[in-house]
Structure 1
Amino acid sequence: MTTVSVIFYAIVSQRFTSSGYATGKPTVRVTKSKPDCSATEVPVRIAMKLPESLFKRPILQANIVVPEGESQFQITTEIEEGIAQLVQEGMGITMRITSRRWAMTSAAKTPWNPSRRATARVKNPLPAPTHCPYCSAPVDVVSNAEIYGREYGDWPWAYRCTSKNCHAYVELPPFTNIPLGTLADAPTREARKRAKAVFNPLWQSERMTRDEAYVWLAGALSIANSEECHIGWFDVQTCQRVVTVCLHYAREQNQ
């Protein structure tokens, strides 16, 4: 029996914000050889060895498998249809693509099995906290349901102090085990909220970019390395300084 080998790659691309959250819908493109992918792309290899006679049939069936550990988003029906359409346009083959019943061969992502790609996107990662800076109790990874009463978000994890009398915690960027900042108790969380409330308008108003705003803030706070200037790293006193310098800057701009 004469057979035809068909091998090609569907490259699924997902855009992310600077905080590591997926934004917009994933897109798909098809190539005949394995491409060099960026950190936001996942190559899906599709291989078929088919009897030549099958090409006379109206629709072929194909299953796709995402390589282990390579993806932090699901292959949706929309992506399946996009792959099928591109294959038909580029190769003249009409097929039905399915992936969901394969249950995604990559192991489930957890803080104990984080995504390499998501981890690589985090700039200036902090080490995982082991002890609380407020009471010295050990720190554990917990579901954020223990903090909010129910799980929130696609990545419902946080580092939390184990002491019953201390409520310090910090969340994690999606699909990583990296803390978003330093552990924060209630006064520190409130101080950081106030600092962000006056700092974020500096770049949200488009007077400057977010990166430029942090460079300015680092200078205003006498922080030598702007890459180490993160409100999520600040204590209450530093957050109060952020409020002071940002309000002073805003008054100068409005004069």
Structure 2
Amino acid sequence: MSLAGKKIAVTGAFGSLGMAVVEAALAAGASVAAIDRAPSPHPSTAAAFAKAQLFGDVDLSADGIAEKTFALAAEKLGGLDALINVAGAFRWETLEKGSLETWDLLYNVNLRSAVAASKAALPALLRSGNARIVNIGAAAAHKASSGMGAYTASKAGVFRFTEALADELKDRGVTVNAILPTTIDTPANRKDMPDADFSRWVKPAEIADVILFLLSDRARAITGALIPVAGRV
């Protein structure tokens, strides 16, 4: 699927899913701004970002940082046609044994960062006239279980944010959708769940394929959608 000429920003770009999205977008001909809280990609993955504009050490939840970052990204890319909000975090803990700081952390990383990035990118996206925002939710947020309260609450917020922003922008040339993965096949998840059947998990590249479809002209009529990408979980 060609994205030739498209200018795309990806948050959480240096992680497993973010890197898959960056690689897929570059391979499809897009120009990419790769944004992450980490200072730089891990040396073992640096080659994947060779053709991207890198923005490391960016805390999108901090006041004013998102605006500065996206203004510079749009300047370097010559505009902005799409924003992929991949930045996220996970913690498992019960309320009884856990801390309120975890709720604040997951709100900031999973929801506030997507809101801040979208708001900061919006002026450039509106100038595009045919722009896309794709958020990363979580299938688990449909029904929470023990230890998943803080995580699923923040991801449920991504659901409602996606729907509200899609409605806000539906007549302004910007579609807004969310991907809802189940367990993603990443090194971190394999380490945390060594006895799981990894073949059932959804691969980062498979999620990236769905995102690229949403960025294409073929998805122009899709907005406000919460799209499960479940693998065989």
TM-score range for the pair, normalised by the shorter chain length: under 0.3
Using structure 2 for the length normalisation, give the TM-score.
0.23
Using structure 1 for the length normalisation, give the TM-score.
0.21
The structure number with the bigger radius of gyration is 1
More helix by share: 2
